[in-house]
Amino acid sequence: MSASSSSATPRPVPPIPPAGLQGRRRRLLFVTLYELIAIGASSLLFVLIGQQPGESGVMAVAASTIAIVWNVAFNHWFERWEARQSVKGRSVLRRAVHALGFEGGLALFLIPLMAWWFEVSLWQATVMEAGLLVFFLVYTYGFNWAFDRVFGLPASAQAPPATAGGVRL
């Protein structure tokens, strides 16, 4: 009878994939859903503040195109910053900073475009943008919250899995 000594070497534990949709697929779905709703809402808002429906629709699509480019760039920068933070997750303050940063940056692009397209002064375009901004601040905050609830937080906002002695808890 031979005794075989089998010393079990612990195998490395593979990393847990982050919960929810991640990476480019997540960003593409986010931008698509956000902008489809935004086109409909902003077209309606432009009409409600006195602009012609045809001009409002064209402006909404142009604003959406600009917003898509800005969204991809801003969220890339925001998530890079967020990944370096010691506190993970998305608090009310972090969501508010995200919404303000996104909408404030977008306004810098849209005010001159609206002034030109609607043939109004920069001041009038700023007032129009201020009205839209109130709506979009609430919309952006709410959309981000709902999107994260449905599709999970991005990897940049997730805490790493807890481990004890190399074993995942």
Per-residue confidence in pLDDT tens, the chain, 169 aa: 555 555 555 555 444 444 556 778 888 898 889 989 989 999 998 998 889 999 999 999 999 999 889 988 998 998 898 888 888 888 889 888 888 898 889 999 999 999 999 999 999 999 999 888 888 888 988 998 999 888 887 777 777 665 555 554 4
Question: Does residue 125 lie within any of the structural domains?
Answer: yes
Cα 72 to Cα 28: distance, rounded to the nearest angstrom: 9
For residue 161, the model assigns a pLDDT of: 60
Task: Check residue 163 and report its DSSP letter.
Answer: E
- Containing domain of residue 151, as a range? 23-155
The confidence score (pLDDT) of residue 4 equals 52
Closest of 29, 133, 111, 115 to residue 66, by C-alpha? 111
Please work out, in degrees rounded to the nearest 5, the angle formed at the alpha carbon of residue 134 by the alpha carbons of 140 and 113. Answer: 90
Residue 42 lies in a domain: yes
pTM: 0.61
**Does 52 fall in a domain?**
yes
Q: What is the pLDDT of residue 16?
A: 44
Position 15 in a domain:
no
Q: Is residue 121 part of a domain?
A: yes
* Residue at 57 is within a domain: yes
Q: Kindly state whether residue 9 falls inside one of the protein's structural domains.
A: no
Burial profile 111-144: b = 16 or more Cβ within 10 angstroms, e = fewer: beebbebbeeeeeebbebbeebbeebbebbbebb
Is position 62 within any domain? yes
Q: How many domains does the chain have?
A: 1
